Structure 1
Amino acid sequence: MAVSQRSAISIKLVANLLLIGLINLSVTECRRHVSYESDVTYSAINCRKHTAFLTDFGGKGDGETSNTAVFQAAVQNLSQFANDGGAQLVVPPGKWLTGSFNLTSHFTLYIQSGAVILASQDESDYPLVDSLPSYGRGRDGPGGRFSSLIGGSHLTDVVITGGNGTIDGQGSLWWEKFHSKKLSNTRPYLIELMYSTQIQISNLTLIDSPSWFVHPVYSSDVILQDLTIRAPVDSPNTDGIDPDSCKNVKIQDVFIVSGDDCVAVKSGWDEYGIKFGMPTEQMIIRRLTCISPDSAVIALGSEMSGGIKNVRAEDITAINSESGIRIKTAPGRGAYVTDIFVDGMNLHTMKYVFWTTGSYGQHPDQGYDPKALPNVDRINYRNVVADNVTMAGNMGGIEGDPFNGFCISNVTIGLSEKPKKLQWNCTDISGVSSNVTPKPCDLLTDKGSVECEYPSDLVPIDTVQLKTCSLSSTSQIL
């Protein structure tokens, strides 16, 4: 039987099974050879024994035909190989329109160069899901949450990667609805993986998410690297990466243009986050470049009620951004932000270099405890060079709950043509400084020649060695 005939039969069979709801095809019964322009290799936490193309399940990459059922069927079908070496689903060049779909364990979604996963703008393609238990409600409002474009829960060993393929959230329609207050539910995120471990998202371009781009939550052992993330700088809440109640996370070699914080480290909201009690900890952010005129390069909070600790950032670059590192918290948040280490920031055209806010506000409801005060301590910044800066430091704690243990060393800040007359505004904080220009406020005591701490040991995620995986010109495609 000819290859094209076998392909047509396979596609027809899958379509029929979809119609009757019996997606249990043993794809090992129908194989075909697919020629590649060249062998493809990529790095991943694990390689896969089985491979399939989206077109094997009837996908159409014309940018108009919905592939939601196709993605869902493909993932469900390939899940049968989770305990037999895993499976990878290849998205070939084309524009693949789809609504929300979930991934499975021991699985790779590989988006080839020239391929675009195009998010549907139809609300009905995003089923409502429950509010996160550490938030108590949707982030945009008291209603529910639209499911993310790509999601999954309670998974192990999940890779989303490619040859710099694209995921386009087509967020403009959602932004318009948000601004005009036409939404009662929280907008979809582009990628959200929950209660999962061994996650890799890499070598992709992500554009125009309806809201947050990448949101790992209640998860561990997360690698996010070699990503380009872009949204208009006036788009609402388009955070780049939001690790949320996660442990052992690496964010590396990422370029972000955003309408909100480029990286926002979170762990739940007020009384809900306090009750859930899952911190974000053991994180490294390395070689991040950010453009965000109205938000932070790295934000710690404001939803930090499960705690944030043991976060490192090194070799950070910002261009035309509001602030370098910003701590955002308030009475009612509780928990802590401690053991934060930053080494090496190059900042160009900034409103603030250092910004700490103890009165951020924004509570999920009136049930929060205003006596639940956060503990902010052991915050270390060193080796910072900045130019065209409006204000060096705007650092405020909470009256009766000062933020302690700041250390700032080896910092040179060049000012803009019209800088603030007061370069350091400090209230309810304490700490030390060394070799900082312009001279810090008196609450950051000059200690002469002191170098702030930065750990020399590796974070656990840095010990993970990626494997070399392949899609070869002679691959058997299931």
Structure 2
Amino acid sequence: MHQFVWFFCFLAAFCKADFNVKVYGAKGDGHTKDTDAVRKAFEACGRAGGGTVLFPQPGIYLTGAFNISSNTTMMIEENATVLGSVDSKDYPLIQPLPWYGGGSDYQGSGDLIYQSLVHSWGASFIRITGSGIIDGQGSPWWNCWRHDRKASPCNGISRPHLINLIGGDNVQISDITIRNSPSWTLHLSNLSNVHVVNITIKNPSDAPNADGVDVDCSRDVLVEASTLDVGDDALCVKSGKDWFGRTFGYPSTNVTFRNNVVYHGHGVTIGSETSAGVRDVTFENIVMEGTANGIRMKSERGRGGLVRGVVYRNVSMKGVGTCVFVTLNYHSDLPKTNATATPRFDDILVEGLVAKDCGVGFSLDGLPESVIEGLKFVNVDVKAKKMMEKCDHVDGSCTHCSYCPPCIH
């Protein structure tokens, strides 16, 4: 899965041209809108067949949404910030992803959505790097979503994701800090050969839907050596929603998260959008502290999709709300549906989990028509105020565990 490393070495030798946004008119003063200059720099890079678009230090580059073409490196220097505009007019309205049929706020509506700040469609050999910052200025977006979704800048439209790269191959994101996303932060959509390394994602713990990394209908992905402190799922694998996801039919496969640290957030997660299926996902050497949920797997009636071959190995938790949360009943009032729209979880291994000072140890909730199959706990030591919250419709086993949920003996 690491073949992209060789390609990026080739790319570095091939794409020597620099496209400095200041050359194209960017002020970098944090007040003047640099949108036109930034877009011109990326357009010039694309016309040249590739290169490096440079945000030089020092500078705060206030900009609306822009697009990255193939063979492009986006370089943000150490004392430079790419600052997202809070004017909705700076975010074009585009078609939603076909495997959702809507945006993350209005999924399934079919309405147009705001383009992400950093965006690509069908572009390959992309690199986003440097020691600088991408800041989405999310506060106005969070406020309108909480209080009046018709108010500006939301205007009744799905909030923009901060970075959404769609439908390409060979992507590397490294060394940057990403913060204050209006909604999902780093959305990796229908990509292959992706490496995310040594990044920091920081959103307030109460920021609505401010996920960290969402791997979505993507293949051969490695996310490592990164720190996340966010307002929703920290590290998450998805594969589309309901009929749209099942029809699109691209599962997320061969995804690894390793050597990451998670603070606030809703957990290291599969779902709830599982409709095209999720296979062969590993969370390994994860440290979690003060997180609302630890291990989190969620789907519901209507989603469909098979989630199989998920491993959580060597996960350390302290002060986590619920240590292990696995449910096929995420919204419990939903009616039964046909077999195609009924989700399934199978072959899940939790090995080497150590958790202390937690609120709840386990919440396990399958469906009568879809039992959670093959849930294995090996070398698990959990200490919580309340060990068991729910334990229904689960088949599994425990080996060398300090506590075993009673429904899986």
Same fold (TM over 0.5): yes
**Residue 121 of structure 1 corresponds to which residue in structure 2?**
86
Residue 393 of structure 1 is matched in structure 2 by: 362
Unpaired segments ≥5 residues, structure 1: 1-42, 446-478
Structure 1 residue 112: Cα displacement: 0.2
Structure 2 contact 8–125 (Cα < 8 Å) conserved: no
Superposition deviation, residue 370 in structure 1:
7.9
Maintained 8 Å contact 1:154/1:194: yes
Q: Look up the match of 2:96.
A: 131
The equivalences for 1:423-434 within 5 A come to 423=388, 425-434=390-399
> Which residue of the partner structure matches residue 158 of structure 2?
186
Alignment correspondent of 1:51: 18
Structure 2: distance between partners of 1:97 and 1:391: 43
- Distance (Å, rounded) in 1 between the aligned partners of 2:163 and 2:332: 24
Q: In 2, distance between residues paired with 1:78 and 1:423?
A: 56
Q: 1:371 to 1:250 in 2, by over 3 A?
A: closer
Asked whether 1:442 is paired with 2:406, we answer yes
- Displacement of 1:226 in angstroms is 0.7
Residue 302 of structure 1 corresponds to which residue in structure 2? 272
Identity %, equivalent residues:
31
Match 2:202 to one of 209, 230, 237: 230
What does residue 52 of structure 2 align with? 88
In structure 2, the partner of 1:79 is 46
Structure 2 contact 161–183 (Cα < 8 Å) conserved: yes
Shift of 1:149: 0.2
Q: For residues 209-238 of structure 1, what are the alpha-carbon distances to aligned partners after superposition, in whole Å with 9 as ceiling and x for unaligned?
A: 000000011111111111100011011000
Which residue does the alignment assign to 1:339?
A: 309
2: CA distance, partners of 1:78 / 1:402: 52
Q: 1:108 aligns with which of 51, 73, 94?
A: 73
- The equivalent residue for 1:377 is 346
Q: State the Cα deviation string for residues 326-367 of structure 1 (Å, max 9, x = none).
A: 11101111111100112101101012111111111399x99x
> 2:4 maps to which residue?
none
Aligned residues: 390
Q: In the alignment, which residue of structure 2 is the partner of 1:207?
A: 179
Q: Which residue of 2 aligns with 1:457?
A: none
| TM-superposed deviation, 1:424 | 5.8
> Among residues 56, 61, 67, which one is paired with 2:28 in the alignment?
61
Q: 1:240 to 1:428 in 2, by over 3 A?
A: same
Residue number among 144, 157, 169 corresponding to 2:112 in the alignment:
144
Q: Which has the higher contact order (CA 8 A, sep 6+)?
A: 1
- Code of the residue aligned with 1:304 in structure 2: it is T
- Report the alpha carbon displacement of residue 54 of structure 1 after superposing the two structures with TM: 1.3
Whole-angstrom distance in 2 between the partners of 1:44 and 1:251: 17
Cα deviation per residue 1:378-398 (whole Å; 9 max; x = unaligned)? 001101111101221110111
Aligned equivalent of 2:378: 409
Q: Could you tell me which residue of structure 1 aligns to residue 323 of structure 2?
A: 353
Note the C-alpha offset of 1:325: 1.4
Structure 2, unaligned runs of 5 or more: 1-6
Residue by residue, what CA displacement relative to the aligned partner does 1:263-287 show, whole Å, maximum 9, x if unpaired? 1210000111111111000011011
Alignment check: 8 A CA contact 1:332 1:370 kept: no
Q: Does the 8 A contact of 1:331 with 1:371 survive in 2?
A: no
Helix, strand or coil at the partner of 2:44:
helix
Deviation at 1:80, TM superposition (A): 2.6
Distance 1:273 1:107 in 2: 30
Alignment RMSD? 1.9
Q: Per the alignment, do residues 325 and 256 of structure 1 end up closer, same or farther by CA in structure 2, a change over 3 Å counting?
A: same
Counterpart for residue 255 of structure 1: 227
For 1:151 and 1:310, locate their aligned partners in 2 and report how far apart those are by CA, in whole Å: 27
| 2:212/2:228 contact within 8 Å kept | yes
TM-score (norm 1): 0.79
The one-letter code matched in structure 2 to 1:130 is Q
User: Contact 2:67–2:118 at 8 Å: present in 1 too?
Assistant: yes
Whether 1:198 and 2:167 are equivalent positions in the alignment is no
CA distance in 2, matches of 1:270, 1:114: 43
1:53 CA displacement: 1.4
Task: State the Cα distance separating 1:44 from its structure 2 match.
Answer: 5.2
- What's the CA shift for 1:240? 0.3
The 8 Å contact of residues 352 and 379 in structure 2, kept in 1 or not, is answered as yes
**Inter-partner Cα distance in structure 2 for 1:414 and 1:215:** 34
Where 2:353 maps in the other structure, the secondary structure is strand
* Superposed displacement of residue 55, structure 1: 1.2
Deviations 1:49-70 (A, max 9, x none): 2122111111111001111111
Counterpart CA distance in 2 for 1:405 and 1:188 is 38
Q: State the 1:425 CA deviation.
A: 2.8
Residue of structure 2 equivalent to 1:282: 254
Residue 75 of structure 1 deviates from its aligned partner by 1.0
The 8 Å contact of residues 320 and 350 in structure 1, kept in 2 or not, is answered as yes
User: CA separation in 2, counterparts of 1:371 and 1:77?
Assistant: 47
Given that residues 302 and 328 in structure 1 are in contact (C-alpha distance below 8 angstroms), is that contact kept between their aligned partners in structure 2? yes
